[in-house]
Amino acid sequence: MESKITAIAVYTPEKRINNAYFQQFIETNDEWIVSRTGIRERRFASETQFTSDLCIQAVHNLLAENKNISLEGVDFIIVSTTTADQVMPNTASQIQNAFNIQNCGCLDIMAACAGFVYGLVLAKGMIAAGTHKKILVFGAETLSKFTDFKDRTSCILFGDGAGMALVEPSDKAKIFNAVTGSDGGHGKDLYLSQNNSIVNGEHIEANGKIHQNGKVVFKWAIQTVSGKINELLAKNAMQLEDLDWIILHSANMRIIEGVAGEINYPIEKMLSSIEYCGNTSSASIPLAWDIARKAGKIKPGQKILMLGFGGGLTFAGVIIEV
């Protein structure tokens, strides 16, 4: 059985945080942040708003925007997040409960910024296996709750948001072959220290904050992503010309520009959510898709290559037809 994404929806919290906000507690300025990252603004969840709340709002938006869609028959919920409300119970179960969806598998997955694409790959496989028929795949984060606001190299990057896709069976394949992988040797270059533990042979002390070796991740991202785009095209017997859009994880506009340069692809065809959402990890790809969709850019029948990369250091890419 083939599959397709039949609808997407998003939610971003009300609270807008501009670059000047950070000048209250670190030495920085709007010019540095815009030129080094492409970020002008990001959204922060309120103190009482958690990742499952953002997902639930995204579902309300899905239903409001698509009168023909209901949650009847939803048989699996996958939530990609590194910032779950709690490790247990999982975020997917909170969504299940909010909408009283019965007989529905509930799973959170952790693959950081690659997680939304990982979720699509899982959903495609479950539909292909014939075991499930109506799957909600979320990418959602409240990174602001885990941001170290004393670290000026990382705190200016992160934002909160949620995006989701409804994945259903299709007569014609519309979610094509994927690439998935990880460079676990780089685990220590980007991590969220939840527990005292050892990663890559080094001790990690729990402080509940995100730590990143920005320069290493930056270089790794440009090299890895460029290579994986070519691998993904080859796996689908496609050329760059067959694509209408590329959506990379919105980590930094300079990474997106760097990859566009490496693969020689027009930057106008690289969609992102970086400018007004910042780096929202798992949520960044569906947010970018939604922004472009609402701007009237994405049309039925078009092909989009999506590729996420991040903590792990994980990566996952897939080509879909809208």
Nearest approach, Cβ of 285 to ligand COA (angstroms)?
12
The catalytically annotated residue of 113, 132, 236, 277 is 113
Stretch that binds ligand COA, among 6-14, 64-72, 230-238, 247-255 (CB under 6 A): 247-255
155 noted as active-site residue: no
* 248 is an interface residue for ligand COA by CB under 6 A: no
Does 156 sit near ligand COA (CB under 6 A)?
A: yes
Between residue 288 and residue 317, which ones bind ligand COA under the rule CB under 6 A? 310
What is d(CA 71, CA 134) in angstroms, rounded to the nearest whole number? 9
3-class DSSP assignment, residue 8: strand
Q: Minimum distance from CB of 247 to ligand COA (Å)?
A: 14
Q: Cβ distance 178 to 318 under 8 Å?
A: yes
153 lies in the binding site for ligand COA (CB under 6 A): yes
Q: Which of 6, 36, 89, 148 binds ligand COA (CB under 6 A)?
A: 36
Per the annotation, the verdict on 113 as an active-site residue is yes
Q: Does 32 bind ligand COA (CB under 6 A)?
A: yes
Nearest CB to ligand COA, comparing residues 133 and 254: 254
- Name the residue nearer to ligand COA (CB basis): 166 or 286: 286
Sequence-separated contacts (24+) of 84-92 with Cβ below 8 Å: 84/51, 84/108, 85/50, 85/51, 85/52, 87/194, 91/51, 91/52, 91/55, 91/138, 91/140, 92/138
**Residue corresponding to tokens 């065809």:** 269
Minimum distance from residue 152 beta carbon to ligand COA (Å): 4
Q: Does 218 bind ligand COA (CB under 6 A)?
A: yes
DSSP-derived secondary structure for 273-287: -HHHH-B-GGGHHHH
State the Cα–Cα distance between residues 245 and 269, nearest whole angstrom: 5
Q: How far from 178 is each of 202, 315, 320, CA to CA, in Å? A: 32, 11, 10
Is cis: bond before 266, omega within 30 of 0?
no
Pick from 81, 142, 212, 273: which binds ligand COA (CB under 6 A)?
212
Determine the residue type at 17.
I
Q: How far apart are CA 16 and CA 320, in angstroms?
A: 31
| Number of Cβ within a 10 Å radius of residue 122 | 20
Over the window 181 to 210, marking each residue x when it contacts ligand COA by CB under 6 A and - when it does not, the resulting string is ---------x--------------------
Name the burial class of residue 137, with classes exposed (0-12), middle (13-18) and buried (19+) by CB atoms within 10 angstroms of its CB.
Answer: buried
Distance CA(58)–CA(47), nearest Å, equals 19
Per-position x/- string for 64-103, each x denoting binding to ligand COA as judged by CB under 6 A, each - no binding:
----------------------------------------
- How far apart are alpha carbons 189 and 213 in whole angstroms? 5
Q: Does 120 bind ligand COA (CB under 6 A)?
A: no
- Of 55, 162, 251, 288, the one binding ligand COA (CB under 6 A) is 251
279 assigned to active site: yes
| Residue in 28, 52, 82, 147 binding ligand COA, rule: CB under 6 A | 28
Nearest to ligand COA of 61, 213 (CB atom): 213
Position among 152, 188, 235, 303 found at the interface with ligand COA (CB under 6 A): 152
Rounded to the nearest 10 degrees, the angle between the axes of helix 253-263 and helix 214-235 is 40
Site residues for ligand COA per CB under 6 A: 28, 32, 36-37, 113, 152-153, 156, 190, 212, 214-215, 217-218, 221, 249, 251-252, 255, 279, 310
Q: Kindly list the catalytic residues.
A: 113, 249, 279
